[in-house]
Structure formats: C-alpha cells, structure tokens
Structure 1
C-alpha cells in the first residue's frame, strides 16, 4: 500500500474509532510504529493536526474535525444543500447532526448573512430505526471494510429469520432510504447483501479477510429496479396506460430502458434487466395501468399474485 493510502487510512481509522494507540495503528496498517509518528508529522505539515495523550489510555486522536479541501459555495449551491437537508431528514439520514453542523459552518462563512432557506415539502415514509444505533453500525462496518476484519453478527432475514453469520464486508451503499452492505457470507458461501437495520447483534472479529479479486460493485448491483438482481437477465416489455405513462417516462428506471409512445398516450417500456421479484412488485404498484407483455414468466407471476389478492378480499 502506498504512503498516501496509508495516511488516508490512518485518518479514517482515527475518525471512525476515535483514540488509538500507536501500536494499534501500526498493526492495522501493517507498518512499524516509527512510520506512524512520521505520518503524524506529514499530516501536520498539511494542516491536519492529531492530538495525543500519554498513559495507559493514551493514543492519537482527532480533536477538531479537519477538512482536506477548502472551497467557496455560492447562494444557489447553498440552497441546493438546504433542499438536500430536507430530503435527507425525511429519509432518516444517520449523519443528520454532522450534515447540519457543516451546513451551519458554510452559512457562517458566506458573505451574505441573511440567507433565505427554500421551503419544500416531501411526502414520504422514513426508516423506523434508532439512528444513533444505525450510525454506530455503519461506522463499525466501514472501519471493518478498511481494516479487512470479519464481522460476526446475528442477522434477521425475511426468508430464514435470525441466524448467526460471519461476513467479510466489501462495500456499503444506500437504497430506498436504508443502508445496506455487501459482503462474503461464510454461512452461504457466496456474496450477499445485508440491510444494516436488520443486524440484531454484532462483533468485529480479529480474523482478517481478503476481498475477492473478481468482485465489482457495479457488476453485482446490475441494471434493475431494485437491489435483488442476482437472477438471470431477461427482456422486459410493458404497456403502460395514460396518465401513468407520463410518470414512468419522466424517470430513468433502468439504464438501458427504451420508451415508445403510442397515439393514445400510452407507452411501451422495454429493457434488459434482472431481479424479477422487484420488477413484479414495481408493475403491481401501477395497478391496472400496466400490462406485462414479456416475459411470460413475469406475466404468470403477476397473474398468480392478483389471484391470491382476489382470494384474500373475498
């Protein structure tokens, strides 16, 4: 690993874990303690200062948050950040406190003291979770990704309930307002995705892992409506009636989507995708406004679901 990569990794560790002893930093970075002291000097030359305390509980830590970049923000950019603040808040963003703090600092640094905040209204649901707990899980998982430590966890899945798993975390991502991470699951012997809010208990293990060289996040999360895209790709063709056709045409749902317009203002939506279960739920959400033309398997799945719903409401 390069010197720059080690220094950045050292900053990430201190920001995520807080105070750390020199020997622990050296062990994580797989270098000697002398280099840790050298990295501290290098950071201070760049204006990033690490504090330290001595004694049995001593170590290096970042007392004041520091930025690697300094840049100006104009009034319109500030308004965009405020609008993002509203959306993040409504979606249960786990770093809302830090985001608001940064926003306040930007506002204080701007020349115009009176900044009108745009008024927006977002009607949506938000995750019903303990944000403080979710934040800690997120930071611990991110740290494990950097340090390549396995995670032992009790995880609840919709299919099999609560099971103990040992996972090598690869990447964290956000989908539909919730945080997920992707990693190699020892229980299933394959790469899986895990919703962070469904982790009941967890422990960061000392055991290290090596990330599969063949893993690529973009390839894993294929072009699809949802994230459960681990089945084979198929050709999708849907006829969507007006006015739902207008709403669908206004967004990019799948990267390779193709939309053809009919004289009655309906559209033909076509794409090559995967994740049939997610596509099924997406189509059902459009009700009588959408008809699957291809593939037949998806059409049959939707017909079966409709029959089950019909029996439920007898």
Structure 2
C-alpha cells in the first residue's frame, strides 16, 4: 500500500479508542514497525491528535473528540465538495493545486460505485470564467498568507495599463472575488486609509519586517461593495428611478451588479423602482441601459430621459461618421 493508504488505515485502527502499540499496528497492516513510526509522524504533522502513552499498558490513541469526528462523507456531501472545487478552480482560487489534491484523495477512498456517481455529477457541471494566469495566482497566494499572518507588504501597483507603477506599503486585510475580478482590500500606509486594489494590476510584492493587526470587526467584502457603489449607498445623492418594460428585460437588468443592489421594489406588471446616485445617472447608467433598447421605458426622472437622448444622439453621430468614411473610401 502507499503511504497515504497506510496513514488512513492507521487512523481507522486508532478510531476504536483503545491504545494500540506500533507493533500491533504493523502486524495488522503487514508493514514494518518503522513504517508505522513514519506514518504516525506524518499524521501528527498534518494535525491528527495522536497521543503516545508510555508504560506497560501504553501505546497510541486518538484524542476523544477526534474519535467521534466523521472521516467519510455521504454521496451528497461528496458531490457538493467536487462541485465547489469546480467553481473555485474556474474563479481562479489561489490554492487550486491543494484543492485538486484534496478532491483526488476524496475519490481515492471511495468505492467504484461512489466514484462513478461522483464522476457523473461532476461532468454535468461547468463554469465559464476568464482564466486567472499563474502570476496572479502567485500574488493571490502571497496576499492571502500575508493577511492571515498580519504581515505588511511592499507593493508596486499600476492604476492603469499605460501608467507607471507606484510603490507603497500595504496591510492586506483580505482578498475578494467579484464579477470575475480579484481585489485586495487593505490599509494603504501611503494614503493612510483603507483602500481596495485590483490584483491583476499589482506588479510586484515584497515582504517587510512590519506587522499589523486587522480591525476586529471588518469585512473586506462589505468595504469593497461600498467603495465600488459609493453613490448608491449615499443617502444624500439618491434619486428615484422608475422603469417600465418587458418582464424578461427587467429580470436581466436586476441581475446587473449596479441595478441589483439599487432595487427598491418590483411592481407588476412590468415595473421596477431603483435608487441610484445622481452622478451615476449622468455618467455610466445610460450606457448600461442602452443595450435594452426599446424593451425598457424610463418613467422617471426626467434628467435620465434627457441624458439617454443625449447619449443616443452621440452614438448615432459616432456611427454615422464611421459610415460616411467607409462610403468615401468605396467612392
């Protein structure tokens, strides 16, 4: 048997709760006693609470609570773990290799019927996601570990593809995956405030000798959401937006990252009420609504209707100019 098989077998034998000597374990498994010692050392290193009692009645035993803990998963639990690994891998989870090894172990210790069942269910699930490159995976691993250990990092960060990276020291509080992009939320010692950074724009990370304590009550997820949707969460700038249209179009709009968080009420038939920042209505909201065309109708406010007319006219002029250039070249 492989070392992993021997280690699992030893755990099963120790689950009886009785003290078992190394020689008894070796005899049961038909392996050398030195192999038993090596396997027990590996089990202890991996966190298994094995206690060695000396004396005439001594031997190895497991801590009481661990004896009662389940070491096997039922079919539904196995399926859920495999499906979760698929989602995590496609999202660019930074510890994908370790996750793959864990799922491989899960499959290794199932019988043929269970393995076939798992494979049938895992082959029926797919996730479409922009792949995360190896460099970004390494950055995510470094950030997650620094956040867990409270280690500050030197960071070279480029705000845009054409901008030169700037250096700063950051205290990483956590990493967040949102809408296909990984973000790091942490305290920026250059700006002396908590900020969020896109991981794909990080050029370099380097360790420092500085340590930090993350605030006791802090959610990187909530902070990122508030920073990306500042106006929609600012009561002083909220404007009521009432839309009417086909139910399918409204359903799709409510899945949008901005409108989904700004939804106040869905009225039947075919009407929805949102609260959005005034500045956003003048900038990017009209462009979010353009793809829906005539399937949606703005009932209020008038300022959004006016802005949609302006944006539509700008788009018309843009493509009209392109069409004229193409016709001139043909002529």
Band the TM-score falls in, shorter-chain normalisation: 0.5 to 0.7
Q: Against the structure 1 CA distance between its residues 81 and 191, is the aligned structure 2 distance closer, same or farther, given a 3 Å change threshold?
A: same
How many angstroms does 1:172 deviate by?
1.4
Q: Against the structure 1 CA distance between its residues 207 and 293, is the aligned structure 2 distance closer, same or farther, given a 3 Å change threshold?
A: farther
Distance 1:72 1:87 in 2: 22
Taking only aligned residues, the RMSD between alpha carbons, in angstroms, comes to 4.0
Out of 171, 176, 186, the position equivalent to 1:173 is 176
Alignment of 1:159-308 (within 5 A): 161=163, 162-211=165-214, 215-217=218-220, 219-222=222-225, 228-231=228-231, 232-233=234-235, 234-242=238-246, 243-248=248-253, 253-254=260-261, 257-262=264-269, 266-271=270-275, 276=280, 282-293=288-299, 305-308=311-314
Distance 1:98 1:244 in 2: 41
Query: What do residues 21-41 of structure 1 show as CA deviations (whole Å, max 9, x unaligned)?
Result: xxxxxxxxxxxxxxxxxxxxx
How many angstroms does 1:157 deviate by?
1.6
Greater helix percent: which structure? 2
Q: Residue 48 of structure 2 corresponds to which residue in structure 1?
A: 47
Q: Against the structure 1 CA distance between its residues 208 and 286, is the aligned structure 2 distance closer, same or farther, given a 3 Å change threshold?
A: farther
How many angstroms does 1:175 deviate by?
0.7
Q: Residue 310 of structure 1 corresponds to which residue in structure 2?
A: 316
How many angstroms does 1:155 deviate by?
1.1
CA contact (8 A) 2:153 2:205 kept: yes
Out of 130, 139, 142, the position equivalent to 2:141 is 139
Distance 1:183 1:156 in 2: 16
Matched, 1:108 2:108: yes
CA contact (8 A) 1:228 1:278 kept: no
Q: Residue 74 of structure 1 corresponds to which residue in structure 2?
A: 74
Distance 2:302 2:289 in 1: 14
CA contact (8 A) 2:263 2:272 kept: no
Q: Structure 1: where are the runs of 5+ without partners? A: 1-42, 50-68
Q: Structure 2: where are the runs of 5+ without partners? A: 1-43, 51-68, 321-331
Count of aligned pairs: 246
Distance 1:237 1:122 in 2: 36
Query: What do residues 29-57 of structure 1 show as CA deviations (whole Å, max 9, x unaligned)?
Result: xxxxxxxxxxxxxx7696269xxxxxxxx
Distance 1:45 1:154 in 2: 35
Q: Against the structure 1 CA distance between its residues 208 and 250, is the aligned structure 2 distance closer, same or farther, given a 3 Å change threshold?
A: closer
Q: Residue 151 of structure 1 corresponds to which residue in structure 2?
A: 153
How many angstroms does 1:293 deviate by?
4.8
TM-score of the two chains, using structure 1 as the length reference? 0.61
Q: Residue 31 of structure 1 corresponds to which residue in structure 2?
A: none
Query: What do residues 249-295 of structure 1 show as CA deviations (whole Å, max 9, x unaligned)?
Result: 68993386421121xxx231435789947766644454443445556
- The structure that has the greater radius of gyration is 2
How many angstroms does 1:309 deviate by?
3.2
Equivalent position SS for 2:228: coil
